[in-house]
Amino acid sequence: MGSSSKKYKDKDSRKRRHEDDYEGDAPKDKRHKHKKHHHKDKKRDKSSKHSFDDKSRSNASDDPDIVEIIEDPPQPPPKPHSVSSRPRESPPQNVESLSIEETNKLRAKLGLKPLDVGSGASSSSTGSTDKKNNDELKKDEWGEFYHKPAENLIKKAEQEKLRAKLLEAKEKRQINQKLKKTKTLGESDEEDDIVAWVSKNRKIEQEKREAEKRAKMLEELDAQFGIGEVVQSEQRERMRQKYTEKDLKGITVQHDIDTISEEHDVILTLKDKGVLEEDEDVLVNVNMLDDERYKKNIENKKKKITYNPYQDDEFDEFGNPKEKSLLSKYDEEIDGEKRESFKIGYDNAVIRKKIATESIKEKLAKKTLESIGEKQLTIASEYYNEEELAKFKKPKKKVRKIRSKGKLLTEDEIKPDNYGIESIGSRRPKKNEIDYDIDDVPSVDVPQDIKLEVDKDDILEQALHKARTIKQKENVIADLIKTEIKTEPEEENVDAGNIVLNATAEFCRTLGDIPTYGKAGNREEVDDMMDFEKDIEQDEKSDEDDCTIIEPSGWNSVDPTNQGIDSTQILPQETPILDEEPDVSTGVGAALKLAMSKGYLDKEMNNRPCNSRLAHLQAKHYSIEDKSYGDDGDGRGRRERYMGPVTEFKEKDTFKPNVKLEYIDDEGRVLNSKEAFRYLSHKFHGKGPGKNKIEKRIKKSTQEQLMKKMSSTDTPLGTLNMLQQKQKETQSAYVVLSGNKQAQSTALSKTRR
């Protein structure tokens, strides 16, 4: 700034002068320019104000800061003596600088070394050229140091290559020189010369001879001095001391003798042992030891089963079974490892082999030999020949005969009982069987076949037979009883004046006149039965021993005339709510009725064929696909097939079939629609119901059957029967339910049984 301001100063002064010159004539012009150079004018004014100050103060600048500084210094700055030399009015740069001499003087005053004149001289004008060059090497014209030029990589690589080439060539030369020393086959011409060769050989022979001579001479000399004997004795001594096979005898080798093969040499070394141990020396082979260790490691890795009771006995090398000690697996751990060993010289291989062969022979002697080649191969026949048939026996034959006899016996026992009652159907098949047995006896050939058949299902036969005999016995007894019962009641029924006594009715009568009560009782049938029994006893007390019926007393001794009225009053009213239990003895029909009512039989069940029962009748190769309509001769379309006949069947007008769809399951039960659907669906999907569902259904069905079988006249526990019996016993119309008569009730139960 300072410099610029100074320039302005100069300009100002010049301009001022100029203005002074044209002060009078150019006010317009000034005014005209005023707009343009407004700023300039301002400055000019400002500078004009300070113009005097500037001149008075030589050094100070017009900036206020600097002014302060100038005022500030307490000491006036040391007046530079170079002021005079300073080019005050020097060119526009206005730079103060001293000459070299002046600066040197100044430096001397300041205590500094003088300037480097050489460099300064060079810069100024004429100096020594070499110095200048030296300086230029380091620095450029701006004083900057020269940089080392970058390495040329390509050149370097080329140099390397060249160097390598040179080295290679050098080596080649060296090798060639080396090789030149030996002669090649082609080159060795000298040897071909016979004369030279002969002479050479002669030379060698001569040299040998001379050497021998020299040796002899030396020996003679030794002999003369007695050295030879000494040497010989020494040698002998040495031989004696030598360790030979003899010394090895008796030393144990800790390997199995079989592992050391005869073909190869095996180097054995003394086994390591403690210094203080006094065991005998043992020879081992290091490699074989390693092998053994390796084998053992593998064994350990295998993790054998430690306990195997079914294991076959181990055999030693000759095939004799080894004895096993208890917990043999721990033997190694307790006793230490057991190792095979042999002693050199003691173990003779020849003897060993002999032993082995002998043992094998012994073993062979024990066994029977079987040759492989002798037997001729024959084609196996499908049938037995006579010899084989003779061999082939059926052990069951005899057993069966005994059994048949037994069966006959049992039937014989039964027979006499059956004679009286021939009307019973169930007996018939048995008769046939007996006949068949009788027929069976005379023939010789036939029985074999039959017996075979019988054998197959003799268990079934036995079971059936047993059931039959039991049934027969029952039937006999029942028939005996029934025939006796049958005859009497009819006689009684004929009797008009007979009195029917009804315990309940009597009971009710005594209680009061409640006729409905009597009617409602469902015990009448039982009462009827009891009446029957009573009558039987009255008539045939002496005959029957089996039937033990307690005699009720009292009621039958009542006056018949009095009773007659009552009975006539009550009897017609006696219509039991439940159906009367039909009498089985009256005939097959009655029995069937009873069975039906009890649920033993179902009406349709008899006729209905069961699926499973008739399975064998169904066509085996029948399938629904057989019904294919693909080639129907009607010529009708597929769609029309289902539309039915076009015209109605007039001739079949009256035909109104009663179609009833019924579904039967595998057990032959009729299914309702729901069950049928389920059944079909299971069949269709091929997936049955779960186990629980099946169980549930079975339970339900069994319960149903039980319900059917349940006595319709009594509670399941037979309490009514008991009550009546009790009443009979006590001959009272009531039963005391209090606890003090418990003994009696137990007695009652006993009698029931």
Partner 1 sequence: MIEITCNDRLGKKVRVKCNPDDTVGDLKKLIAAQTGTRWDKIVLKKWYTTFKDHIQLQDYEIHDGMNIELYYQ
Residues lying near partner 1 in the complex (CB under 8 A) = 1-3, 5-6, 59, 61-63, 65-66, 69, 73, 75, 77-80, 82-83, 86, 93-98, 100, 103, 106-107, 110, 112-113, 115-117, 119-120, 123, 142-144
**Residue closer to partner 1 (CB basis): 83 or 578:** 83
**Residue closer to partner 1 (CB basis): 99 or 705:** 99
Q: Which residues 6+ apart lie within 8 Å of 507 measured at CB?
A: 733, 734
- Provide the minimum distance between the beta carbon of 125 and partner 1 in the complex, in angstroms, as a whole number: 13
**By the 8 A CB rule, do 563 and 498 touch?**
no
**DSSP 8-state secondary structure symbol assigned to residue 666:** T
**Residue closer to partner 1 (CB basis): 81 or 541:** 81
Distance in angstroms (rounded) separating the CA atoms of residues 42 and 50? 13
**Residue closer to partner 1 (CB basis): 75 or 261:** 75
Which contacts qualify for 260-267: CB closer than 8 Å, 24 or more apart? Answer: 260/285, 260/288, 262/349
- Provide the minimum distance between the beta carbon of 132 and partner 1 in the complex, in angstroms, as a whole number: 13
**Residue closer to partner 1 (CB basis): 2 or 406:** 2
Element (H or E) spanning 252, and its range?
strand 252-253
- Provide the minimum distance between the beta carbon of 80 and partner 1 in the complex, in angstroms, as a whole number: 5
**Residue closer to partner 1 (CB basis): 12 or 62:** 62
**Residue closer to partner 1 (CB basis): 80 or 319:** 80
Distance in angstroms (rounded) separating the CA atoms of residues 744 and 738? 11
C-alpha dist (Å) from residue 396 to 386, 448, 459, 461: 20, 11, 13, 16
- Provide the minimum distance between the beta carbon of 100 and partner 1 in the complex, in angstroms, as a whole number: 6
**Residue closer to partner 1 (CB basis): 9 or 519:** 9
Report residue 272 CA to chain centroid gap.
52
- Provide the minimum distance between the beta carbon of 87 and partner 1 in the complex, in angstroms, as a whole number: 11
- Name the token pair of 568: 């006539």
- Provide the minimum distance between the beta carbon of 64 and partner 1 in the complex, in angstroms, as a whole number: 11
**Residue closer to partner 1 (CB basis): 68 or 313:** 68
Q: Could you tell me the end-to-end alpha-carbon distance of the chain, in angstroms, rounded to an integer?
A: 151
**Residue closer to partner 1 (CB basis): 69 or 356:** 69
Buried b (16+ CB within 10 A) or exposed e, 503-529: bbbbbbbeeeeeeeebbebebbbbbbe
- Provide the minimum distance between the beta carbon of 149 and partner 1 in the complex, in angstroms, as a whole number: 21
Burial of 271 (0-12, 13-18, 19+ CB in 10 A): middle
- Provide the minimum distance between the beta carbon of 158 and partner 1 in the complex, in angstroms, as a whole number: 37
- Provide the minimum distance between the beta carbon of 13 and partner 1 in the complex, in angstroms, as a whole number: 16
- Name the token pair of 453: 């058949």
- Name the token pair of 69: 């500084």
Q: Which amino acid is at 53?
A: D
Pick from 591, 395, 598: nearest CA to 475: 591
- Provide the minimum distance between the beta carbon of 103 and partner 1 in the complex, in angstroms, as a whole number: 5
Distance in angstroms (rounded) separating the CA atoms of residues 84 and 96? 11
C-alpha dist (Å) from residue 521 to 477, 513, 732: 32, 15, 18
Distance in angstroms (rounded) separating the CA atoms of residues 364 and 263? 30
Q: Which residue has the tokens 């779960």?
A: 690
**By the 8 A CB rule, do 55 and 9 touch?**
no
User: Residue 253: how many CB atoms within 10 A of its CB?
Assistant: 23
Distance in angstroms (rounded) separating the CA atoms of residues 704 and 448? 48
- Provide the minimum distance between the beta carbon of 2 and partner 1 in the complex, in angstroms, as a whole number: 3
**Residue closer to partner 1 (CB basis): 117 or 452:** 117
**Residue closer to partner 1 (CB basis): 142 or 225:** 142
- Provide the minimum distance between the beta carbon of 112 and partner 1 in the complex, in angstroms, as a whole number: 6
Distance in angstroms (rounded) separating the CA atoms of residues 41 and 677? 126
Pick from 576, 515, 504: nearest CA to 724: 504
**Residue closer to partner 1 (CB basis): 119 or 585:** 119
**Residue closer to partner 1 (CB basis): 112 or 614:** 112
Burial of 502 (0-12, 13-18, 19+ CB in 10 A): buried
Q: Which residue has the tokens 């289902």?
A: 642
- Provide the minimum distance between the beta carbon of 166 and partner 1 in the complex, in angstroms, as a whole number: 45
- Provide the minimum distance between the beta carbon of 150 and partner 1 in the complex, in angstroms, as a whole number: 22
Q: Considering only CA atoms, give the Rg of the chain.
A: 75
- Provide the minimum distance between the beta carbon of 67 and partner 1 in the complex, in angstroms, as a whole number: 10
Sign of the torsion formed by the C-alpha atoms of 505, 510, 515 and 516: negative
Reduced 3-state DSSP string for 581-607: CCCHHHCHHHHHHHHHHHCCCCHHHHH
**By the 8 A CB rule, do 695 and 722 touch?**
no
**Residue closer to partner 1 (CB basis): 113 or 639:** 113
